[in-house]
């Protein structure tokens, strides 16, 4: 087991990545390999290591050549090119660049070493499931989650018992659409809550230092309604949870994705959700253990102390599941 666990530094770093370190060219410039987004084993491996693939990123080419060529052209065009003072100043410049490149190379190698191995992707069937791949392709630019978390969510959404599906913290609708895709075959109502452009956070406490009230406001209620318009069971509700849910009479919650980043919102949401859970229902907590969201950890710790009937299961990379024990 220990062999599969990433070091804290590695998982922190994986979280902070927004694009892959392109060690080799994978796929074409549009990010697809034979029309299949994750068809390439290497690409899947990078997904599993917590990267968000940015299809526009080309593979590693020899990035030094164009730089050297440019330097040579500048040197040739310079009338002082044979003056000793000029040559010495250029040499100094080159040695600084060389040291810097060496440092970047060492850092890159060190990071690669930290990242290996995280998961053996060949046996993670979901990554090769075309339905999952299509859903990831649809949401990858509008979700904050990496593929590992989207995969957890996909599996768990299909595992729970009957009841309604809820998301608290929808932002641009990426994970909401992903949940709807996962439960396409079920006849379940889906409610998602977010203040959208009126957002982003109602209360920001001492532990929520990474956030400010106007974060996550670059989204629009209408856009998310349009995004989910092909999902007849989806309802988009604008407002802060749980107040926005007070009149909806939500009950028998089979699945809730709770992704609100901050202490008060997590705490109030959990208190609201706990008595409304269905048999074989669960809550997925996002950002559990994330270094930028200590407020979520505190809220969950306090909730567990007050509700020993809930079981807490951490998941890689920064998620957790809360289960009402008596209902499973
Ligand atoms: C990290 S974003 C959600 C990302 C989204 N789940 C995805 O990856 O597709 C967090 C969102 O939670 C929203 N939020 C914060 N407090 C909230 C509350 N009390 N009720 C509903 N949404 C809230 C913010 O406005 C923000 O849009």
195: nearest Cα among 139, 261, 145: 261
> CA–CA separation, 283 vs 276, rounded Å?
11
Is the minimum distance from the CB of 266 to ligand 1 under 6 angstroms? no
Is the minimum distance from the CB of 261 to ligand 1 under 6 angstroms? yes
How confident is the model at residue 117, as a pLDDT? 52
How confident is the model at residue 63, as a pLDDT? 56
Q: What is the DSSP annotation of 152-183?
A: HHHHHHHHS-SSEEEEE--TTSHHHHHHHHHT
How confident is the model at residue 241, as a pLDDT? 98
How confident is the model at residue 30, as a pLDDT? 37
Residue pointed to by tokens 């969510």 = 153
Q: What is the tens place of the pLDDT at every residue in 309-327?
A: 999 999 999 999 999 999 9
* Residue of 145, 171, 227 with the most ligand 1 atoms within 8 Å of its CB, for mutation: 171
Residue pointed to by tokens 């902070």 = 16
Tell me how far the alpha carbon of residue 17 lies from the centroid of ligand 1, in angstroms. Answer: 20
Q: What is the tens place of the pLDDT at every residue in 11-64?
A: 454 444 444 433 333 333 333 333 344 444 445 444 444 444 444 444 444 556
More confident residue, 187 or 64: 187
Is the minimum distance from the CB of 191 to ligand 1 under 6 angstroms? no
> CA–CA separation, 175 vs 150, rounded Å?
8
Q: Which residues pair with 286 in a beta bridge?
A: 319
Q: Which residues contact 309 (CB under 8 A, 6 or more apart)?
A: 324, 325, 326
Q: What is the tens place of the pLDDT at every residue in 66-106?
A: 777 887 888 888 888 888 888 888 787 777 777 777 877 87
Query: What's the chain's average pLDDT?
Result: 82
Q: Helix or strand or coil: residue 78?
A: coil
Atom 11 of ligand 1, residue of closest alpha carbon? 169
How confident is the model at residue 111, as a pLDDT? 65
**Stretch 192-197: mean pLDDT:** 98
**Stretch 245-255: mean pLDDT:** 96
Q: Exposed, middle or buried: residue 97 (CB in 10 Å: 0-12, 13-18, 19+)? A: middle
Scanning 49-127, the segments in alpha helix (DSSP H) are 64-77, 84-114
Calculate what percentage of the chain has a pLDDT beyond 90.
58
Burial code of 202-220, b = ≥16 C-beta within 10 A, e = fewer?
bebbebbeebeeebbeebe
Q: Which two tokens stand for residue 204?
A: 């920001």
Is the confidence at residue 183, as pLDDT, over 90? Answer: yes
Is the minimum distance from the CB of 295 to ligand 1 under 6 angstroms? no
């Amino acid at each position: 087991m220990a062999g599969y666990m990433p070091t804290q530094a590695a998982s922190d770093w994986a979280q902070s990545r927004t694009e892959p370190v392109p060690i080799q060219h994978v796929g074409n410039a549009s990010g697809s390999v034979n029309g299949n987004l994750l068809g390439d084993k290497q690409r899947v491996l990078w997904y599993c290591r917590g990267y968000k693939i940015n299809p526009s990123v080309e593979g590693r080419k020899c990035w030094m050549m164009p730089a050297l060529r440019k330097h040579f052209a500048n040197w040739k065009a310079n009338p002082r090119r044979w003056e000793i003072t000029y040559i010495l100043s250029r040499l100094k410049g080159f040695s600084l660049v060389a040291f810097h490149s060496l440092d970047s190379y060492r850092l890159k190698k060190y990071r690669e070493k930290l990242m290996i191995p995280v998961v053996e992707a060949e046996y993670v069937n979901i990554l090769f499931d075309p339905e999952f791949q299509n859903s990831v392709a649809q949401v990858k630019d509008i979700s904050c989650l990496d593929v590992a978390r989207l995969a957890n969510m996909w599996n768990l959404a299909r595992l729970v018992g009957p009841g309604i599906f809820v998301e608290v913290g929808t932002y641009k609708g990426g994970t909401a659409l992903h949940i709807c895709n996962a439960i396409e075959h079920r006849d379940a109502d889906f409610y998602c809550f977010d203040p959208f452009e009126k957002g982003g956070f109602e209360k920001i406490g001492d532990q929520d230092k990474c956030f400010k009230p106007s974060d996550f406001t670059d989204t629009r209620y209408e856009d998310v309604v349009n995004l989910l318009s092909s999902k007849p069971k989806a309802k988009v509700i604008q407002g802060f949870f749980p107040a926005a849910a007070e009149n909806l009479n939500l009950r028998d919650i089979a699945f809730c994705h709770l992704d609100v980043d901050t202490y008060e919102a997590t705490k109030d949401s959990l208190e609201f959700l706990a008595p409304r859970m269905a048999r074989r229902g669960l809550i997925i907590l996002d950002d559990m253990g994330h270094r930028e969201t200590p407020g979520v950890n505190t809220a969950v710790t306090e909730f567990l102390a007050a509700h020993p009937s809930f079981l807490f299961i951490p998941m890689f990379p920064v998620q957790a599941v809360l289960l009402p024990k008596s209902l499973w």
